[in-house]
Chains A and B, each alone.
Chain A
Amino acid sequence: MDMSEEVLHQAAPGVIPGSGTARAAKPARLSPSVISWLQAGPMMLVFVAFFLIPLVFVVIVSFWDYNEYQLLPAFSGRGYTDTFEGCIDKLPELCTIGRTYVMTLKLCFMVWAITLFIGFWVAYFLAFHVKSKTWQMGLSLLCTIPFWTSNVIRMIAWIPLLGRNGLVNSGLVKTGLVNQPLEWLLFSEFSVVLALVHLFTFFMVVPIFNSMVRIDKSLIEAAYDAGATGFQTLVNVIIPLAKPGIVIGSIFVITIVMGDFITIGVMGGQQIAAAGKIIETRVNALQFPAAAANAVILLIITFLIITMMSRIVDIKKEL
């Protein structure tokens, strides 16, 4: 870090010709663009090797044919046509893929709305009500508690809590609030949303908190001095300035939930369709091209959502 900054300082301000001769020994006369390439290079290489190239393969394979035991590298749209099977002739009823995406988007929207609400207020509390840096750090670390155990254990732990004979139900029955255990507490959309919110609120808290601590406190004082109410300050000052954090948090949550099938599977009792679940079933049946086609569709839809969101806020500009 220090090294590169030094290099930047040397190279950046106009690069005075001649000053190089004084320090001829140092090959520090890289142009700014080369330096930025060097800085971005390692990440870019990782990105190309482990993301772009595999992605290209996925797209290629999605147009291949297959049989029971191997990929047939011949062009075929079968992965896609099979996926959209019945989408036209079943109208007005939704086809499998249509239904799956309606469900996935519905879950995604609910989780997004709830994590945003909770995450915003947790971040607000951390940024404006907790004065000491140490406490801010400590409390935000507390938000990571859901990640201290493995995914599977975390989800299995819900059964003794929400199950038919679980803590919540036996509590409700004992207090006489309900006569029979509530079935919808577990293996339902409710439990899926609950588990996802529990897991992913953290991804909302961190970027929003990060945006909020960078808000100049004098702006809030100015708003107060100008006679703005707390609500007006929130809507006109804090929310607009926290927007980049909100959008980044939203992108985290939405992309994770769109592709999730493990949490939805376990918490939904494997009875709730998910875009990721279709891919998993296909992969397990060794139907890789069909799985790849579904992955491409999922990618396109997720990408569209994110494009829409970045229309609302220009993240590049805000950062």
Chain B
Amino acid sequence: MTEKTRTTGVSRRTLLKSTAGLAGLAAGSGAITGFPYVMSAEPKVLRYLGTAVNEGDDISKQCLKDTGIKIEYITATTDDVTKRVMTQPNSFDVLDTEYFSLKKIVPSGNILALDSKKIKEFDNITPVFTKGETPGGKKIGGQGTAPWKVLYLEGKDSKTFSKTPTEFVTLIPTVYNADTLGIRPDLIKRPISSWSELLNPEFKGKASILNIPSIGIMDAAMVVEASGKYKYADKGNMTKEEIDLTMKVMTEAKKAGQFRAFWKDFNESVNLMASGETVIQSMWSPAVTKVRSMGIPCTFQPLKEGYRSWASGFCVSKGVSGAKLDWAYEFVNWFLSGYAGAYLNRQGYYSAVLSTAKANMEPYEWAYWMEGKPAEKDIKAPDGSLLEKAGAVRDGGSYEDRMGGVACWNAVMDENDYMVRKWNEFIAA
């Protein structure tokens, strides 16, 4: 499970691999040196830059088997991925990134607009991305950098997002989820139903949030709104006054000793929760699963104010052309064709093309993960380890309920610079 989840930092191995890849590229690529080279002699290799969410060894092995494309993973944190796109756009071919990063990446001109006609399953991508509603027709909250706001470009070389669908796509969606608070029901011993509980003095010294400013402040805003202190026009794009107000509430809580610690990486969040240092904190779904698989009760608690959602997918580097571009399309098409989707669904994430993923899952698995039904049989992770015993029901229920309950999306604000300064002030307070 750990390898399939988000981890921070570049491991020595991946760093070596990626630098070796870089050196290899500099030495061998005809695209850069301008020398012609024989296409057929080249193995099909794509350098894949991303966070660890989609980067399973199983996925790359299956991909090699099905398409002959060898995937070389370059693993980094969300922030470092963006940094790399800005500073070393030629160091990767395929980019796996989140929609909110697009507000930074697209204006930099370092990614290629993808042709939606070359994506076989494009029309089958869940309407969550294209229309902002669930397949069942539930409208999804659009605060923050919702995918449909940044999915299309106005033209092939445009740096402006199009409000209406065009054939030029920024990021082909692959995986997404709805995040909420994780709790320790055995230590809290009462129902939790609102984000405002995060700042409830009852949990003094036992609460935690993410120390990633752009995401942490959204969770904070959910709390502020839930406690009735303020109603935001757009939590994902606050004015300076709104940032001040949000940070003031959080600063008071911090000074009162509400937070045990802030966490930054997946394993930290698991440790805090499993050791009982915290009993309520913002969390990611697989982290909750991991705590549970250690035999410790942990719930990914649905809350009445809704979820904060995130979504990621594939971009292609501007430096990719010719045969390599064809491989990139082939790879993206393969990724949406079912195997990877089923794999992600089994981890508690959601796949972008539901129909193909469903075809690759057992009916009882689909019923548990996607329809919110009690598990008919034991539920296993992709690596075969036991996740839930028969009879268990997924926290938050069905896809319709969870994605339909999304209130806002991870975002980059227009006032990002101000927000980051205020966040530093908050940490220093």
Contacts and interface: CB of A to CB of B under 8 A. Distances in A.
Interface residues of B, number: 40
B205 interface: yes
A187 B261 CA distance: 7
B103 interface: yes
A318 interface: no
Interface residues of A, number: 38
Given A99-B428, A283-B83, A70 B275 contact: no
A166 B211 CA distance: 24
Interface string B250-293: 00001000011111100110010001110000000000000000
Given A96-B421, A99-B429, A187-B260, A286 B275 contact: no
Interface string A246-290: 000000000000000000011011111100011001111111001
Interface stretch (A129-137, A156-164, A235-243): A156-164
B211 to A, nearest CB: 4
Given A265-B264, A270-B211, A285-B416, A68 B424 contact: no
Contacts, number: 95
A313 B151 CA distance: 63
B427 A183 contact: no
Main secondary structure of the interface of B (DSSP, over half): helix
B241 interface: no
Contact of B276 (A156, A165, A268): A165
A270 B277 contact: no
A221 interface: no
Interface stretch (B104-112, B189-197, B302-310): B104-112
A273 B275 contact: no
A187 B254 CA distance: 13
B259 A69 contact: no
A96 B82 contact: no
Contacts of B267: 156
Contacts of A69: 86, 104-105, 107-108
Contacts of A196: none
Nearest to B79: A284
B185 interface: no
B58 interface: no
A169 to B, nearest CB: 11
A96 B428 contact: yes
Given A160-B275, A165-B276, A273 B424 contact: yes
Interface string B53-95: 0000000000000000000000000011011001000000000
A271 B427 contact: yes
A287 to B, nearest CB: 6
B424 A96 contact: yes
Contacts of B105: 69
Interface in A1-51: none
A199 interface: no
A233 interface: no
A286 B104 contact: yes
Nearest to B425: A96
Contact of A273 (B83, B212, B428): B428
Interface string A133-177: 000000000000000000010001001100111100000000000
Given A164-B276, A183-B205, A285-B214, 10 more contacts: A96-B421, A152-B9, A159-B271, A159-B275, A270-B211, A270-B262, A270-B264, A278-B424, A285-B213, A285-B416
B412 A68 contact: yes
Contacts of A265: 211, 264
A268 B259 CA distance: 11
Contacts of A269: 259-262
A278 B422 CA distance: 11
A314 interface: no
Contacts of B275: 159-160, 163-166
A160 B417 CA distance: 37
Contacts of B271: 156, 159
A271 B262 contact: yes
Contacts of A282: 420
A290 B86 CA distance: 17
B423 interface: yes
Contact of B427 (A156, A186, A187, A277): A277
B334 to A, nearest CB: 30
Contacts of B261: 187, 268-271
A285 B82 CA distance: 9
Contacts of A281: 213, 420, 423-424, 427
Nearest to A68: B104
Nearest to B271: A159
A287 B86 CA distance: 12
Contacts of B420: 281-282, 285, 287
Report the 6 A-B pairs with minimum CB-CB distance, sorted nearest first: A269-B261, A273-B428, A270-B262, A284-B79, A96-B425, A270-B211
Contact of B428 (A70, A103, A160, A166): A103
A292 B277 CA distance: 35
B212 to A, nearest CB: 8
9 contacts: A69-B86, A100-B424, A103-B428, A152-B9, A163-B275, A183-B205, A265-B264, A271-B427, A278-B424
Contacts of A160: 275
A186 B136 CA distance: 48
A49 B263 CA distance: 37
A284 B275 CA distance: 29
B283 to A, nearest CB: 15
Given A69-B104, A271-B254, A163 B277 contact: yes
B207 to A, nearest CB: 11
